[in-house]
Copies of this chain bind each other. A is one copy, B any other.
Amino acid sequence: MDLITVKDIYKDRDKYMDREVTLGGWVRSVRDSKTFGFIVLHDGSFFETMQIVYSDSMDNFTQISKLNVGAAILVTGTLVATPQAKQPFEIQAREILVEGESAPDYPLQKKRHSLEYLRTISHLRPRTNTFQAVFRVRSLIAYAIHKFFQERGFVYVHTPLITGSDCEGAGEMFRVTTLDLENLPRTEDGKVDYTRDFFNKETSLTVSGQLNGETYAQAFRSIYTFGPTFRAENSNTTRHAAEFWMIEPEMAFADLEDNMALAEAMLKYVIRYVMEEAPEEMKFFNSFVDKGLLERLQGVVNADFAHVTYTEAIEILEKVNDKFEYKVSWGCDLQTEHERYLTEQVYKRPVFVTDYPKEIKAFYMKLNEDGRTVAAMDCLVPGIGEIIGGSQREDSYDRLTARMEELGLKPEDYEFYLDLRKYGSTRHSGFGLGFERCVMYLTGMGNIRDVIPFPRTVNNCEL
């Protein structure tokens, strides 16, 4: 179909002015008087709507005037400037064809609906202003992330979703199986016989692509993953989803400084991209979802991120321990309240906290010379706390196996991973960015269920 979009018109109005165009879209509202009427049309291509003026010179004037919200129409008419009106232009319709009517019980009416209600109709909520803005911005953020890494020569690696490794924290993993649960095959000693399962063993959904990603960084130097990850955590909060997307870059020949420089550049790039590509949506969030959003994001783009070691951060926080529900002391993990205090009150800009005690970080992080901290970094941002977590990886075969044994991990379960330290090991680093957390941060949306098209959470797997 040879249609013009609302976006085409907003982006290049001179090209279409005073000409006849045909648009397809959905009715947001209809008002009519005896001889003419107005339609607010949204066509999904752009945040703003288009005003359509129609008159009783049309045969189907009455049909049009009775259209319900949500009806799909095809409008042919002339684009004219309306310098006196609120909107910059309108279309004076010559013909309006009804593509699909909207039944009287259409669940979205002109009034404002609550986010809670809209969650119950996840197939229709993208038609509302809020979710038009959220999911267009989500798409733009995803693309900006690809663009950022591709422009820097990073190779995009699809790490696997189904994993046979239970090394990643089995307690919180979803099992994947084709066994008939009503009729499980058993081994001689009565256990479930996983050799009869699809993969001939127990398999689960991955919680991170990092270990696989590292193998590709040792071949391509700089890689990133961007794919779904899963957590079977029984947490019914505004920040946890069972299925979410992660970005995990990994760089060979890169230390913790390089890692932080990459994270800072990436965040700034993505924020700039979205502010340029979706100014209407960002203005909407700033007005209706999170006042102060644009100022905060602009602050991130303009600031040099601060740096502080965990040990220094603890000294700072201990002095104001009376402000906190959880009191800090060296060795404890930082809670959101501490993170936000550091970034919002102390530094008033994003801050990297580095060199955490090894006990509160993962086994693969590089041991510092002090023997008690590791080359980890968390990036904290105002309004949210931790948004990125990363580290330089332990590149010494001996130190890595020693640490595994300390923690009761079996080196033979990680043979492929240890091989990377045996054959051309390099200092290397990477981090993880939870994609939904990033979308929440850039839109100001407060509930992870509202930034995922069809969210999966405890007891909830609709559509």
- Tell yes or no: A407 within 8 A of B by CB: no
| B-contacting 9-mer, from A88-96, A149-157, A361-369 | A149-157
- Tell yes or no: A212 within 8 A of B by CB: yes
Copies of this chain assembled into the complex: 2
| A156 / chain B contacts, CB cutoff of 8 Å | 138-139, 142-143
User: Are A243 and B1 CB-contacts (below 8 A) given A198-B174, A220-B44, A424-B26?
Assistant: no
8 Å CB contact of A416 from B103, B234, B463: B463
Report the separation of the CA atoms of residues A333 and B219 in the bound assembly, to the nearest whole angstrom. 43
- Tell yes or no: A353 within 8 A of B by CB: no
A241 to chain B, nearest CB (A): 10
Contact (Cβ within 8 A) A253 B24: yes
Contact (Cβ within 8 A) A232 B458: no
| A420 / chain B contacts, CB cutoff of 8 Å | 123
Contact (Cβ within 8 A) A182 B191: yes
| B-contacting 9-mer, from A55-63, A199-207, A337-345 | A199-207
A198 to chain B, nearest CB (A): 6
8 Å CB contact of A5 from B142, B153, B232, B254: B153
Report the separation of the CA atoms of residues A162 and B242 in the bound assembly, to the nearest whole angstrom. 9
Contact (Cβ within 8 A) A423 B124: yes
Contact (Cβ within 8 A) A203 B146: no
User: Are A164 and B461 CB-contacts (below 8 A) given A146-B143, A155-B139, A157-B135?
Assistant: yes
A413 to chain B, nearest CB (A): 11
Contact (Cβ within 8 A) B102 A423: yes
Report the separation of the CA atoms of residues A139 and B101 in the bound assembly, to the nearest whole angstrom. 43
- Tell yes or no: A84 within 8 A of B by CB: no
A419 to chain B, nearest CB (A): 6
Contact (Cβ within 8 A) A136 B199: no
Central interface residue in A44, A142, A203, by most chain B CB within 10 Å:
A44
Report the separation of the CA atoms of residues A102 and B423 in the bound assembly, to the nearest whole angstrom. 4
Contact (Cβ within 8 A) B143 A200: no
Contact (Cβ within 8 A) A174 B174: no
| B-contacting 9-mer, from A111-119, A315-323, A448-456 | A448-456
| A179 / chain B contacts, CB cutoff of 8 Å | 175, 181
Contact bitstring A44-85, B, C-beta under 8 A = 1, else 0: 110000000000000000000000001110100000000000
User: Are A123 and B45 CB-contacts (below 8 A) given A177-B174, A181-B181?
Assistant: no
Contact (Cβ within 8 A) A221 B45: yes
- Tell yes or no: A265 within 8 A of B by CB: no
A120 to chain B, nearest CB (A): 11
Contact (Cβ within 8 A) A395 B143: no
A264 to chain B, nearest CB (A): 17
Report the separation of the CA atoms of residues A23 and B427 in the bound assembly, to the nearest whole angstrom. 14
Closest B residue to A224 by CB, please name it. B139
Contact (Cβ within 8 A) B461 A199: yes
8 Å CB contact of A243 from B162, B419, B461: B162
Report the separation of the CA atoms of residues A161 and B243 in the bound assembly, to the nearest whole angstrom. 8
Contact (Cβ within 8 A) B160 A454: yes
| A45 / chain B contacts, CB cutoff of 8 Å | 153, 220-222
Across the A-B interface, the 9 shortest Cβ-Cβ residue pairs = A100-B425, A44-B221, A126-B219, A24-B253, A199-B461, A123-B215, A164-B461, A72-B424, A139-B156
Further pairs besides A1-B253, A126-B215, A157-B453: 20, Cβ < 8 Å:
A44-B252, A45-B221, A122-B215, A135-B157, A135-B216, A136-B220, A138-B156, A142-B158, A143-B156, A158-B245, A158-B452, A160-B461, A160-B463, A181-B184, A182-B191, A198-B232, A199-B459, A199-B461, A203-B461, A215-B463
